Amino acid sequence: MSIVSLSSGEPTCTTEDVKAIAGANGFTITPGSVDETAFLLFANAFDATCEAIENLPEYEDPRLKPVIVDGERQCHRPDAVENPLNAWAHKTTLTIPSAKGPLAGRTIAVKDNVSVAGLPLGLGCSPGLLKDGKHPISPIDAIVVQRILAAGGTIKGTATCENLSMFAVSYTSHSGVVHNAWQPGYATGGSSSGCAALVSIGDVEEARQSGKDTRDYPLGEGVDLAVGGDQGGSIRLPAAYSGIYGLKPTHGLIPYTGIAALNPLIDHTGPMTRTVEDAALMLGVMAGYDGIDPRMTPESPMPDKVPDYARDLQAWIAGKEKAGEWTADGAAKGLRIGILKEAFDVIGLDPAVADVVKAAAERFRSLGADVNEISIPLHKHGAAIWTIAARPMMPHFVAGNPPDLLSHTMPHLQPNKIGQDYFDTLAHRNPAAVNILMNAAHLQLKYGPALARKAHMHVWELRDAYDKALEECDVLLTPCNNTVAPKHPASTAKTEDNPDGCSERIMDLFEPAIGNTLNTCSFNVTGHPAMSMPVGWGKVKEGDGRLPIGMQVVAKRWDEASILKVAKSWEVGGRWTDSR
């Protein structure tokens, strides 16, 4: 078919359009030339092709059709009385009464970037950043939502997340700050901030019932489990700040289909729970190839080949008990523990946090494990490799562009064109989201694509370095966060004079988050599974309170089982809440 025959109706492109299109690519076409005439014809033919697709109705894969639940899908935005921690985005109750799976009777919240049919998809951002100036109502259920409902779980709603999932602390959401359940006024970490707060409520309530915590302030309704998202630490960081377990699985183990992406290279979703057993249980429900997500590879197990992590963990413990080893001096016998030397040299690591994590790591010796310090010099460059490898693609997704590989995009979620409104909305709410755009442009203008290509080469080097270290040990241990949760900046409080809770001084927002991901983000690009587990307490910087400290446990790719064993064996020496 000829180019001319592809065009129908009156031409829609002009020579000015051709000039602009050429300019966007950095070249010019001589006005009035034969070349200009030819490319004007090409432009009109191409525009006719664009219109043909634009006129088609949107298509939703039937595999993502909403699951049939009990009753109508309804939700509401809870007020401050019902939602004192601001951890809920929207509340609902979705369940399949006939489902009798492993999550029966358990309540679950999902991060507000996960599609739940009938609920708004908020992304923690101002609706003004999205098409038509409002958050879309999702017409689909993400694969993880389907699997949770099929396993008998009850989804109680969506949890507040940081603005566009681009911040490591919990005061950038359009709805306002998310309070730490252990210390209101302090951060829960981000970007899965609401998830961490809602799950940790159970531990706070337990501490009150036992008399260990005599304070009385409103918490609101919590949940048993949550689905978080992690591109640089956004499951692990809030888990560490909040005293829960947060597992970023191997890249490609859990499908990301139906979840708003930042970059397929680093996108992960995973469980956030109060116990190791629940992390194992939820992982088994969520994991497995879905036939849609391009992040999954031939290494990803089919659903019927996913290990039964919970059963396998219990079988391992039972074997230990039979051998008389499930004791305070034998629970970790046979495990090889590596303490990652360079992880304690990162900028901004609070010595008090380092001491708690080192003490937690040393506990494994008394539990019978083989414990050694492991040096991986390239770990010091891990955050830089993550940044340069991942940054160029992130604005691509913020603008609503599809990935390079076929995936199920979310056409109902369409960001507005990035421009001055984007800057004005976010610069004093979440400057990191603006900085990512600035970084990507800086990278392109000064270095071109060569530097990002080089960073991708070093991702393979970094993966190899971790793989070699993990031949000597079963897991690597690192601090998770550099400090205990910081206090929310005073400038983020919503007042009559500042109804949006925006800070006039950008650095007030940035400073508490600097360095937070130095020990977490590298495992997003290499794809290794990593879990934050609570191991103790640290004093807050302002006031007399204390907040949880988390330790990161990293294993070989596809070896989540070792992480679960190591974390559970550590608890034989005493629960983290009992430490001082």
Chain center to CA of 120? 19
**Separation between Cα atoms, residue 295 and residue 293, nearest integer Å:** 5
Distances (CA, A) of 226 to 159, 253, 274, 429: 9, 17, 10, 25
Q: Which residues contact 65 (CB under 8 A, 6 or more apart)?
A: 140, 141
Cβ atoms of residues 268 and 256 within 8 Å: yes
Residues 268-307, buried b or exposed e (16+ Cβ, 10 A)? Answer: bbbbbbbbbbbbbbbbbbbbbbbebbebbeeebeeeeebb
Residue 356 makes CB contacts below 8 A (sequence gap 6+) with 535, 536, 537, 538, 549
Distance of alpha carbon 162 from alpha carbon 349, whole angstroms:
23
Phi, psi angle pair for 251, to nearest 5°: -60, 125
Q: Which of 191, 192, 532, 569 is catalytic?
A: 191
111 is catalytic: yes
Separation between Cα atoms, residue 238 and residue 333, nearest integer Å: 30
Residue 206, SS3 per DSSP: helix
Q: Quick one: CA torsion of 412, 418, 423, 429, rounded to 10 degrees? A: 20
Is the preceding peptide bond at 191 cis, omega within 30 degrees of 0? yes
Say which amino acid occupies 434: V
User: Which among 111, 320, 565, 568 is annotated as catalytic?
Assistant: 111
CA pair distance 394, 563, nearest whole angstrom: 30
Please pick, among 173, 192, 234, 569, the residue that the annotation labels catalytic: 234
Instruction: Say whether 354 sits in a helix, a strand or coil.
Output: helix
The SS3 of residue 391 is helix
Are 71 and 154 within 8 A, CB to CB? Answer: no
286/529 Cα distance (integer angstroms): 15
Q: For residue 131, what is the DSSP state? A: G
Q: Which residues are catalytic?
A: 111, 191, 234
